[in-house]
Each structure stands twice: as structure tokens, then as C-alpha cells.
């Protein structure tokens, strides 16, 4: 069995528009101002997608879903993640698990962790875990200027033994 790992990082600043919804890991956090971005700016889902693309050697989110493309304006990032999972599968890989560390002074993520994990796990088709960390007041994240997320993804090859990474080495 062949495995590969990938890491993903994303950061979005908070929007100046107080009516913009905050979506993290596919979950709506009511009563909190959202993040600035072309899609719904779901920084957690974007980091998960980046990690999966990286593991499969498929580039980054921006190359697949450019922010100049009107199709993705305000897009539900779970739809983007579903497309990423499809691309990863098409390339011969299945997600094993993804783990995320979200860096946010607020909102508190722990009360919604299960919802985020369930939403992401349902899309990825493998366990996705989400942890929340505060930035301890340090830097822009600590001044509540935005939210960042780091993710690690493990994927395994769908290919059978002898062509474990999908590459035919018989010739
Ligand atoms: Mg992003």
C-alpha cells in the first residue's frame, strides 16, 4: 500500500461587511462577522482541500478554483472540497484522514467541533478532525484580524500491488 501526505494552509481576514456570514468547516457561526474572500471564505475547508490536493500532487486550490472565476463567487466551500475529493479519486487516491489546527481568537470552536468534523468527514469520506487554538494575542491573528488554519492529509493509493502509486514500473 502506498501512502502520501500533504499539508495545507489558509488564512482569511475578517470582512468589513458586518452582514457577511461566518462559515468554518461548513458550519454557520451565527452572530459572528464572516471572513473576507471570493467564495464563502471557509478557511478550515480550504486548508483541508489544500492538504488533499498537495498529497495527491495536484497543485493548490487557487489553480483549480481561481478567484477571478465568477462561478465560485460566494460559493459553498464544501462544494469545492467535494470537487477536490473527486479530483483526488480520479488521480487514483483515497483520503485516509485529515487533521486541522485552526488558529482563531474567536469564535470558540470547541462547542461546534463535532458539527464541523461531521460536515467535513461526510464530504471527504474519511475522518476529518478539527482542533481550535488561540493565538495568545500575538500578531494579526492575536489581534483578531483574521483566522488561519493548518491541515495535514494522508491519502492511500487505490492501485493494486505492483503499481502502488498508479505508475506502471513493469516496463
Ligand atoms: Mg481560502
pLDDT digits (tens, 9 = 90+) for 50-75: 999 999 999 999 999 888 888 888 78
* Contact between 38 and 76 (Cβ < 8 Å): no
Q: What percent of the residues of the chain are helix, what percent strand, and what percent coil, each to the nearest 5?
A: 30, 30, 40
pTM greater than the 0.85 cutoff:
yes
Treating both helix axes as pointing N-terminal to C-terminal, what angle do 43-55 and 113-124 enclose, rounded to 10 degrees? 40
- Residue 45 Cα to ligand 1 midpoint, Å, equals 8
How far is ligand 1, taken at its centre, from the CA of residue 102, in Å? Answer: 13
156 touches 164 (CB < 8 A): no
Ligand 1 mean position to 56 CA, how many Å? 19
Counting Cα atoms < 13 Å in the Cβ hemisphere of 163 gives: 11
Q: Reduce the DSSP state of residue 69 to 3 states and report it.
A: coil
Cβ within 8 Å of residue 57, ≥6 positions away: 4, 91
Distance, CA 46 to ligand 1 centroid (Å)? 5
Q: Ligand 1 centre and the CA of 53: distance in Å?
A: 14
Q: How far is the CA of 43 from the centre of ligand 1 (A)?
A: 5
Residue 154 has pLDDT above 70, yes or no: yes
Amino acid at each position: 500500500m502506498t501512502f502520501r501526505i500533504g499539508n495545507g494552509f489558509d488564512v482569511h481576514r475578517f470582512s468589513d461587511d458586518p452582514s457577511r456570514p461566518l462559515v468554518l468547516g461548513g458550519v454557520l457561526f451565527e452572530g459572528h462577522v464572516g471572513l473576507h474572500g471570493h467564495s464563502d471564505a471557509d478557511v478550515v475547508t480550504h486548508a483541508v482541500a489544500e492538504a488533499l490536493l498537495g498529497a495527491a500532487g495536484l497543485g493548490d486550490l487557487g489553480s483549480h478554483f481561481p478567484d477571478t472565476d465568477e462561478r465560485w463567487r460566494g460559493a459553498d466551500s464544501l462544494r469545492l472540497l467535494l470537487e477536490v475529493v473527486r479530483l483526488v479519486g480520479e488521480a487514483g487516491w483515497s483520503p485516509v484522514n485529515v487533521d486541522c489546527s485552526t488558529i482563531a481568537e474567536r469564535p470558540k470552536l470547541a462547542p461546534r467541533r463535532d458539527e464541523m468534523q461531521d460536515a467535513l468527514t461526510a464530504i471527504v469520506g474519511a475522518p476529518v478532525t478539527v482542533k481550535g487554538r488561540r493565538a495568545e494575542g500575538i500578531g494579526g491573528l492575536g489581534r483578531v484580524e483574521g483566522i488561519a488554519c493548518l491541515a495535514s492529509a494522508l491519502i492511500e493509493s487505490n492501485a493494486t500491488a505492483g503499481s502502488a502509486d498508479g505508475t506502471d514500473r513493469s516496463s
